[in-house]
A and B are shown apart, each in its own frame.
Chain A
Amino acid sequence: MSLHTLPVWQLRQKLRQGEVSPREATQALLDRIAAVDGKVKGYLWLNADDALAQADAARNGGALAGVPIAIKDVINVEGQPCTCASKILQGYIAPYDATVIRKLREAGAILLGRTNMDEFAMGSSTEHSCWGITCNPWDLTRIPGGSSGGSAAVVAADEAFAALGSDTGGSIRQPAALCGCVGLKPTYGRVSRYGLVAFASSLDQIGPLTKDVRDAALLLGVIAGHDPLDSTSVPREVPDYLAGLERGIKGLRIGLPKEYFIPGMDKEVEAVVRAAIRHLESLGTEVVDISLPHTDYAVAVYYLVATAEASANLARFDGIRYGLRVRGEDVIDTYAKTRGAGFGPEVKRRIILGTYALSAGYYDAYYLRAQKVRTLIRQDFEKAFAVCDVIVTPTTPEVAFRVGEKTSDPLKMYLSDIFTISANLAGNCGVSVPCGFAQKLPVGLQILGKPFDEETVLRVAYAYEQTTAWHKERPVL
């Protein structure tokens, strides 16, 4: 078995035993990247010398000692570019480490490089990157999902042992599903966002994209926890996620929401997901029919709440303190020209929509109403979790679509997040694990959990994975 195909925990065994050195592991990955990234185009930035220097400095001790990790281009790594795949941040060099990066460094990880994404994490296909598309490793004519499409693609293509992404409406789980890897969105408040460039502050969460569930548990254990620098992070102890994996799932109640099996969904995807649910049942779980009655409103709520928050968050890109500046007649004109030249079309659309939803005369009708329906969606989950331990659904209604298929119709693109958005609105945790193939493309099984119950979600995911072989399938590149 080649080194670059290993999951993190297996690589760690080899590093610990001295079978391989951090430099060898890093070099193996660099070779793999040189061989296939010309096709996948998952990385935006990589410095081989810097990665090897970090490898040589790695000491054998921490949970991730000597393990190179890829980082979505929205999380600050000191001394590396952080562009959010936007022209407005071209040339920006992060002056500090995000808290998750500090924790990765303390665990001994090597910060390998920056992965592609939709501009400012706004999109479901990574086609909205100003630096060009990333291709799905299973079919290069298709999108890898988004917005963490680069992170998912490099993990699936064995160009990274693991990666970090961010999930605002499904941006970790959806690309993980479409690329055939594991993607975990932690509970809102579980992981510090200090140093994550903000998109929608009440929804954003950082999480891992990995080759298997054990790695997801391992990485979550490293990055989770309270951070005084992020006042939305919750002061709560971090459990030992690895220790919890093997406790078994007999007797657990699996909730099946009828609203997630919709007429418009791909029949093959539905069949694959239903087979996965039967498999979970065969492992001794009890399947319970549940209802999340406000599911159909989630996309509408999301595109008001997320765009409203984004329009405020992105006000900071004004050409004064960092990034692009295009001079205008006066300061207001400078702002407008800078932002007009620096942002891509999807970001502009969302800023306009969010500004409108917050503007005088429309605030109550759009933003406030959306926040109220958000309460109904949250209550749906609270009621459902009273009768089940986890909720299982398809991660997406269809497999990876073709490049260009949905770019002309934003609404169509927005609806591809239909199954992942609710968890962000409610603040729950969730994971997507590979559960088979439809049209020869990966399908993801989504397992949603109660707030701060990543342990159970990971335990179910692990039990499923350990009794199936889907996570071992690899694309031919």
Chain B
Amino acid sequence: MSQEKPQFDISYVAHLARLELTEAERQQFSAQLQNVLAYVAKLNELDVSNVEPTAHAVPLTNVLRKDELRPSIERARILANAPEAARDLFITPKIVE
């Protein structure tokens, strides 16, 4: 964010996000996001060297619950939404050869 015009390789970022884009989308989003990045560069105006980050607005940490058995959602209802299922399992594309 220190450089004047932030450059980013949209094909690389799209790969990280596992998101296929068309050539038209790549061009359009690149231009639009350059504008957004130029706008957010205004955060550089502030000195934040002694500021703690806020990840969360409510100061709750390490919320624990008892490890107890309870009923879960019916399996058939979950699998009914699967793109592909058989024998009580999700069918996935092949992961290992």
Q: Given A202-B56, A297-B43, A331-B95, are A343 and B36 also a contact pair (CB < 8 Å)?
A: no
What residues of A have a CB within 8 angstroms of the CB of B90 in the complex? 320-321
Q: A376 interface residue, CB < 8 Å from B?
A: yes
Query: Quick check: A378 and B57 within 8 Å, CB to CB?
Result: yes
Q: Given A351-B19, A368-B53, are A322 and B13 also a contact pair (CB < 8 Å)?
A: no
Query: Quick check: B58 and A228 within 8 Å, CB to CB?
Result: no
Query: Quick check: B1 and A369 within 8 Å, CB to CB?
Result: yes
Q: Can you name the residue of chain B whose Cβ is closest to the Cβ of A412?
A: B35
Q: Can you name the residue of chain A whose Cβ is closest to the Cβ of B77?
A: A95
Q: Which of A340, A352, A451 contacts B58 (CB 8 A)?
A: A451
Query: Quick check: A231 and B51 within 8 Å, CB to CB?
Result: no
Query: Quick check: B36 and A372 within 8 Å, CB to CB?
Result: no
| Cα A143 to Cα B91 with chains together (Å) | 42
Q: Can you name the residue of chain B whose Cβ is closest to the Cβ of A302?
A: B40
Measured CB to CB, the closest approach of chain A to B44, in angstroms, equals 8
Query: Quick check: A375 and B36 within 8 Å, CB to CB?
Result: no
Q: Which of B16, B46, B73, B93 contacts A355 (CB 8 A)?
A: B16
Query: Quick check: B43 and A234 within 8 Å, CB to CB?
Result: no
Residues facing B in A339-391 (CB within 8 A) are 339-341, 343, 345, 348-349, 351-353, 355-356, 359, 362, 365-366, 368-376, 378
Q: A96 interface residue, CB < 8 Å from B?
A: yes
Measured CB to CB, the closest approach of chain A to B71, in angstroms, equals 11
Q: Given A325-B84, A375-B52, are A189 and B19 also a contact pair (CB < 8 Å)?
A: no
Q: B74 interface residue, CB < 8 Å from A?
A: yes
| Cα A373 to Cα B63 with chains together (Å) | 26
| Cα A231 to Cα B84 with chains together (Å) | 32
Query: Quick check: B48 and A353 within 8 Å, CB to CB?
Result: no
Query: Quick check: B17 and A355 within 8 Å, CB to CB?
Result: yes
Interface size, chain A (Cβ < 8 Å): 73
Q: A330 interface residue, CB < 8 Å from B?
A: yes
What residues of B have a CB within 8 angstroms of the CB of A376 in the complex? 46, 48, 51
The SS class assigned to the A binding surface is: helix
| Cα A319 to Cα B92 with chains together (Å) | 9
Query: Quick check: A297 and B42 within 8 Å, CB to CB?
Result: yes
What residues of B have a CB within 8 angstroms of the CB of A320 in the complex? 82-83, 90, 92
Query: Quick check: A349 and B33 within 8 Å, CB to CB?
Result: yes
What residues of B have a CB within 8 angstroms of the CB of A339 in the complex? 17-20
Q: A303 interface residue, CB < 8 Å from B?
A: yes
Q: B69 interface residue, CB < 8 Å from A?
A: no
| Cα A327 to Cα B84 with chains together (Å) | 11
Q: Given A231-B63, A339-B20, A355-B16, are A348 and B29 also a contact pair (CB < 8 Å)?
A: yes
Query: Quick check: A303 and B36 within 8 Å, CB to CB?
Result: yes
What residues of A have a CB within 8 angstroms of the CB of B60 in the complex? 189, 231-232, 234
Give A residues with C-beta under 8 Å from B. Answer: 91-93, 95-96, 188-189, 202, 228, 231-232, 234, 294, 296-297, 299-301, 303-304, 311, 315, 318-325, 327-328, 330-332, 334-337, 339-341, 343, 345, 348-349, 351-353, 355-356, 359, 362, 365-366, 368-376, 378, 409-411, 414, 425-427, 451
- Interchain residue pairs A-B with the least CB separation, the first 10: A427-B57, A340-B20, A371-B53, A325-B83, A95-B77, A231-B63, A372-B48, A365-B1, A335-B18, A336-B20
